[in-house]
Homo-oligomer: A and B are copies of this chain.
Amino acid sequence: MFEQNRIYEFGKKIDGDATMRALLGGKGANLAEMARIGLPVPPGFTITTEVCAEFKANGGQLPEYIFDQIEKAIGNVEKQQGKVFGDLENPLLFSVRSGARDSMPGMMDTILNLGLNDQSVQGFARKTDNPRFAYDCYRRFIQMYGDVVMGVQAKDDREEEPFDALLGQLKKEVGIGSDVDLTAEQLKELIKRYKNLIKNFSTREFPQDVYAQLNGAICAVFKSWNNERAVIYRQKYNIPSEWGTAVNVQSMVFGNMGNDCATGVAFTRNPANGEHEFYGEYLINAQGEDVVAGIRTPQPIAALENDMPKVFEQLVGVCRTLEDHFRDMQDFEFTIERGKLYMLQTRNGKRTGLAAVRIAVEMVDEGRISKEDAIKRIPADSISTLLVPVFDENEKKGLKKLAQGLPAGPGAACGKVYFSAKVAEEVYGKGEKVILCRIETSPEDIRGMLTSEGILTSRGGVSSHAALVARQMGKVCVCGAGSLHIDYGSKTIQVGETTIREGDYISIDGTTGEVFEGKVATVPSEVNRVLAGEMEAEKSNTYRLFATVMQWADNFRKLGIRSNADTPKQAKQAFQLGAEGIGLCRTEHMFFEDDRIDFMRRMILSTTTSDRIEALNHLKPLQRGDFEEIFREMRGLPVTIRLLDPPLHEFLPNTEDALMALSEKFGISMEQIRTRVQALHEQNPMLGHRGCRLGMTFPEITTMQATAIFEAVEKVRSEGVDVKVEVMVPLVGFTGEFNVQAALIKAAAEKVMAETEKTFTHMVGTMLELPRAALVADKIAETAEFFSFGTNDLTQTTLGMSRDDSGTFLPDYIAQEVVTRNPFASIDVEGVGQLMEIGVTKARQGRPDVKLGICGEHGGEPDSVKFCHKLGLSYVSCAPNRVPVAKIAAAQAALEKTAP
């Protein structure tokens, strides 16, 4: 039977290239590409992602036919390297690494130095004339293989890894501090102990056959595609599980052969703040995992200029070559073996939001990429990192600075100290803000890192696991703060005389690397200070980046961007952040303020229409005043005001005392109040007496609100400020509901016009937030002038799922991949989206020029914004601070659409 080729070589013969990420994974494709452009890549081959699927379908075994292909590829590498895999005298060693389409750093497994056994290590020692090196390689191999393939691991993160424990114990026995000082004989002893550990732990022997080793390693990598941390990572980044990983088998080069050897990780620009500088770190006489794992704190890359000036210069050239070729910031791994540079990997570098924005803008300045590319490349969410609050510099001065670490994830974070990822996750569940403090982090910590405000480590550099994950997740991170003595046993941080205990507050500044005791107050970001006129635009480079990106986005996007704003303050913020109007002003929020709530309660407790009207008359001028302020802030931009929406019982107090106070204030008997409270109780308030149903049973509420709106319109217009008001009826399901409510609103407008002897225009429309409304939008559109999708409620009703109650089962659904994302965070395109399409089509049937928007919380989520663009909506409306995010997402959607 003919079998498709599943192996792609790189070396003298190059089968792949950078475009083949889906098949070869990012690492394999880029190894081939680097070889093509003449960079020094040790030869090897890539097993395709197709085999990952076959492996799974095959019950966790490699398909038989692949072994011949592997043998053939090994033969080709052997020829190029002049070594033989498994040879006793001159053994060829391999690294075996994962490589998915999108890089998932640290999530999957790697094996180095594969091909050594008890015999060949002796030949290797003779051949390299370096027994210490040879036995170090062998013990590293056994350690990694034992961990990854044979499952010799600590049970939880409070226990030391068993191999590390043996290594530490030996160092103690022989009285040395650093791994590199171990002699060959000591390493031999360590190897013996490692092999015993494996045998005791797994009841199997460490394999001596090199092909068995290779088979085990390849299987382990494929299997690691479905390990817990990889699955969690994929969920967070929406990577489909069917993509699978490729496996890269590459001949080893050695950074640990002596002091003319090194290994490092570097970036063509600074991934934390985006600065255009050669950035990274390296370790002399080490292998790659030493850098990433953060076991020894590496040297900053600049120091290499002294240690190995020629190689440093060569690396600077490599940076240029890579950026010229890949047109993006690269994150690459290299090894220096006896003064010779080898490239082991390159990829587009993960970066913080701030860095993403800065690199994109500066690459446009440099002429490397177009504005379109820049916008496409900035993750929409990343712009919000320019808007998050920063620590107040004045406050910092008054507080005790505990330590200085590396600024690995910019931003300000403040929380209680916890030392275990698991505990961090638990206390987060109880609503606490956590700073996760670890000596170093490992992939097992990922859940705890996700739930922390910030991450602090005492060991590891800017490419350590902690830094890397923090950058990618947008978490605040300070790493390698070496003066902190973190003790998991006593759950303390000791620094000089100071002891910080579990649960104490600390504050970390990921932009500067500073660590403070206690809570530091925050102030608005530079961008916000410029927007508020509190800082000159010229003084802020961050503002320049922000404004540039916003201008590009505004040029490209087709979708309007409005903001949800309930108060004059929010309206002001929305205006400053570039919102083109208010898409949702919730009037009920006004009722909760100050003593308004009491009049609201008086209204609710009324049993007659006249009592209700009297209470409403107290509320009207207060509402009108708010509306006036909002209109003034928006300076003629459209403002959509939604009439009262929540069920009335939400306004009533819960406690007996508060009810008593109400009873006294308004002279209503407790008996009467209790009866009313009882009558208002509902089984399913979400589906109850709310939205326009209130205006249907109490038309006087609609009339009061509409009158307050129109009186405010008239007042603000009389001041010379234009007003565009759109009155929105909530929770309409039936045409008749809308017609009745619209008639009340229009009557109020006419009354105000008659009284003021002025005319003004206004629009009356409704939410599309019930399936029925979407289905009959054609009929509603005969009278409604605009629609706004309320995707929060539409999701709840379409899925029959209460957002408040879904916490008991939705996490299970996400874990089981029944839903790929939380439908309350990102629009469920297949279900809710389909109903939205029906709504759009129908609404246009009823009124071809109907204005369509969205004002659910999805309006600020990039994928949902893109979906709204596809639907052809007029605008999305989101929280003020999500306006810039929505603008970028809208621009990206427009650019995607115009792509050929």
Contact = CB atoms under 8 A, between A and B. Distances in A.
Given A770-B798, A772-B831, A800-B731, A687 B737 contact: no
A642 to B, nearest CB: 16
Interface string A720-750: 0000000000010110110010000000000
Interface stretch (A185-193, A249-257, A306-314, A815-823): A815-823
A775 interface: yes
Given A734-B819, A736-B817, A831-B775, A808 B696 contact: no
A33 interface: no
A664 to B, nearest CB: 28
A804 interface: yes
Of A682, A693, A770, chain B has the most CB atoms within 10 Å of the CB of A693
B740 A770 contact: no
A776 B833 CA distance: 11
A802 B808 CA distance: 21
Contact of A689 (B683, B686, B809, B832): B809
Interface residues of A, number: 49
A813 interface: yes
Contacts of A808: 679, 688-689, 697
Contact of A819 (B731, B736, B799): B736
A244 interface: no
Nearest to A683: B804
Contacts of A737: 813, 818
A733 B683 CA distance: 22
Given A830-B776, A835-B771, A687 B800 contact: yes
Interface string A671-714: 00000000100111111110001001100000000000000000
A834 interface: yes
A799 B690 CA distance: 13
A682 B805 contact: yes
A801 interface: yes
A703 B800 CA distance: 24
Contacts of A731: 800
A278 B689 CA distance: 53
A800 B819 contact: no
Contact of A687 (B696, B796, B813): B796
A102 to B, nearest CB: 23
A686 B685 contact: no
A797 interface: yes
Of A771, A800, A804, A805, chain B has the most CB atoms within 10 Å of the CB of A800
A395 interface: no
A474 B760 CA distance: 56
B696 A809 contact: yes
A769 B798 CA distance: 10
A696 B805 contact: no
Contact of A800 (B770, B809, B831): B770
Contact of A696 (B818, B830, B831, B834): B818
B800 A772 contact: yes
Interface string A763-786: 000000111100110000000000
A793 interface: yes
A685 B801 CA distance: 9
A305 interface: no
Contacts of A799: 733, 770-772
A426 to B, nearest CB: 16
- Interface of A (DSSP majority class): helix
Of A687, A812, A813, A834, chain B has the most CB atoms within 10 Å of the CB of A687
A835 B775 contact: yes
Contact of A697 (B733, B772, B776, B809): B809
A125 to B, nearest CB: 53
A818 B687 contact: no
A813 B776 contact: no
Contact of A812 (B696, B733, B797): B696
A199 to B, nearest CB: 33
A796 B819 CA distance: 23
Contacts of A740: 816, 818
A801 B686 contact: no
Contact of A683 (B769, B771, B798, B802): B802
Nearest to A811: B697
A803 to B, nearest CB: 9
A195 B399 CA distance: 97
Of A697, A801, A819, chain B has the most CB atoms within 10 Å of the CB of A801
A441 to B, nearest CB: 31
A775 B834 contact: yes
Contacts of A801: 687, 733
Contact of A797 (B696, B776, B800): B800
A724 B126 CA distance: 76
Nearest to A810: B693
B805 A800 contact: no
A772 B769 CA distance: 14
A802 to B, nearest CB: 4
Nearest to A795: B772
Contacts of A835: 771, 775
B805 A683 contact: yes
A816 B772 contact: no
A81 B75 CA distance: 122
A688 B802 contact: yes
A816 B699 CA distance: 13
B805 A684 contact: yes
Contacts of A817: 736
A736 B818 contact: yes
A805 B689 contact: yes
A772 to B, nearest CB: 4
Given A683-B805, A687-B687, A809-B697, A797 B816 contact: no
A685 B809 CA distance: 13
B770 A687 contact: no
A679 to B, nearest CB: 8
Contacts of A796: 687
Given A684-B687, A684-B804, A687-B686, A798 B816 contact: no
B809 A693 contact: yes
Nearest to A647: B805
Given A693-B809, A740-B818, A771-B798, 11 more contacts: A682-B804, A683-B686, A686-B802, A687-B796, A687-B802, A688-B805, A697-B808, A734-B819, A736-B819, A797-B797, A797-B798
List 10 A-B pairs, minimum CB-CB distance, nearest first.
A736-B818, A687-B802, A772-B831, A688-B805, A684-B802, A770-B800, A683-B804, A771-B771, A684-B686, A682-B805
27 contacts: A679-B808, A683-B685, A684-B685, A687-B687, A687-B796, A687-B800, A687-B801, A688-B805, A689-B809, A693-B809, A696-B809, A731-B800, A733-B799, A734-B818, A734-B819, A734-B831, A736-B813, A736-B819, A737-B818, A771-B800, A772-B831, A775-B834, A776-B830, A776-B831, A776-B834, A793-B800, A797-B798
